[in-house]
Amino acid sequence: MKNEQFNNRDVSENGYFLVDIPDYPTDGWGKFTRVVKRTFKGELFVGLWVVLREMIKFDIHTVQYPQEKMPIGPRYRAVHEMKRLWESGTERCIGCGLCEKICISNCIQMDTKIDENSRKEVSEYTINLGRCIFCGYCAEVCPELAITHGGRYENGSEQREHFVLYEDMLTPIDAFKAGKQLEFEGFGSITPHEDERVKKTPLSY
């Protein structure tokens, strides 16, 4: 076991550093020159001209968001979903921790414990959507097709660290019973003709 990593005792270091930005002017003259510079650069009129030009063309393609929404492809990677088993309706997630391991922005965390039936149970599961880059690795690595991406892309929030919890992602049981759970078709889903390609393990039964 190498010990060098323990020789650095600077506990404050966490990878952040300051960017070199000149300070804002604090005195009156400085503030005045800044206003004058910004006002007379002429960039304002470029913008105004574009708006005016488009207005008199009367050729409008704007989607009236949020009243109108564009349809999204089934492989789109937005906020994650947790799926249920078709047979029993129980959660598919077994708590193997592979999504947590593969996550390149380290935004998935889970706590596991042993439950009353001596099985592994996920006691808590969160994804920090503020850090998530929606790369789809978690959905790809999941051996149970439990975590997938969904179509919910609206992440407006009061704070940057917008977490989703397990319960928010899990298919609601009423939606599941109504047959509304959709299989994800993107990263990690079963490719067509998988049945033909799989090698079967022989069994003596």
Partner 1 sequence: MSKITINIDGKEIQTQEGEYILNAARANEIFIPAICYLSRCSPTLACRICLVEADGKQVYACNAKAKDGMKITTTTATIESERRAIMEVYDVNHPLQCGVCDQSGECELQNYTLEMGVDSQSYTVKDVARESKDWGHIHYDPGLCIVCERCVTTCKDMIGDNALKTVARGADALSADYKASMPKDAYAMWNKLNKSVIGLTSGADMLDCTSCGECASVCPVGALVDTDFMYKSNAWELKQIPATCGHCSAGCQISYDVKHTSIENPEDKIYRVMNEWNYVSLCGAGRYGFDYENRVTSKDEVAFAKAIEAFKKADTIEFTSTITNEEAYLLQALKQKNGYKLVNKEAKAFQTFLKDYSEISGTKLYGSDLKETHNANFVISVGTALKSDNPNARYALNNSMTVNKGAGLYFHPISDPVIEGLGKSILTVTHAPLQEEAVMYLILDLFADKTKLPAKLAKYLSSFHYEKTVIVEEDVKEKVIEKVKVKKLNAETGLEEEVEEEKSTMVTKKVSKKVKVDENKLLKMLNAHEKFSETLTKNLAKKDSFSLIVGPDFYTHPNAKNLARLVALVEKYTEFKLTMIPPLSNSLGVALICELDDTKGKFTIGYNTKGDFILSALGDGDLDMPAINQQEGTLTSINKRVNPTNAALAYHGYELNDIANALGFDAQYVIEYTASLPLSSGFKAQKFDCLPNRYENDGTEVRGYLLDNVEIPMGKDEAVAPVSDKKLSGTLIYLANPVRQFSAFTNKTTALHEEAGIYMSADFLAKSEFNEGDSVKIKSDKGELVLNIISDNKISGDIACLPTFDSKINSEALFGSYRFATASIKKV
User: Does the footprint of partner 1 cover residue 7 (CB under 8 A)?
Assistant: yes
Q: Pick one of 76, 78, 109, 162: the residue that binds partner 1 (CB under 8 A).
A: 109
| Interface characters, 114-133, with partner 1 (x: CB under 8 A) | x---xxxx--x-x-------
User: Does the footprint of partner 1 cover residue 197 (CB under 8 A)?
Assistant: no
Question: Smallest distance from the beta carbon of 104 to partner 1, in angstroms?
Answer: 15
* CB of 149 closer than 8 Å to CB of 74: no
CB burial of residue 108 (10 Å; 0-12, 13-18, 19+): buried
User: Does the footprint of partner 1 cover residue 198 (CB under 8 A)?
Assistant: no
Region binding partner 1 by CB under 8 A among candidate stretches 58-66, 70-78, 79-87, 103-111: 103-111
Question: For 157-185, b where at least 16 C-beta lie within 10 A, e where not — what string?
Answer: eeeeebebebeebbbeeeebeeeebeebe
Question: Which strands, in side-by-side order, build the sheet including 108-114?
Answer: 108-114, 120-128, 163-165
At position 200, the amino acid (one-letter code) is: K
User: Does the footprint of partner 1 cover residue 34 (CB under 8 A)?
Assistant: no
Residues in the site for partner 1, rule: CB under 8 A?
Answer: 1-3, 6-7, 9, 11, 94-98, 100-101, 109-114, 118-121, 124, 126, 143-144, 199, 201-205
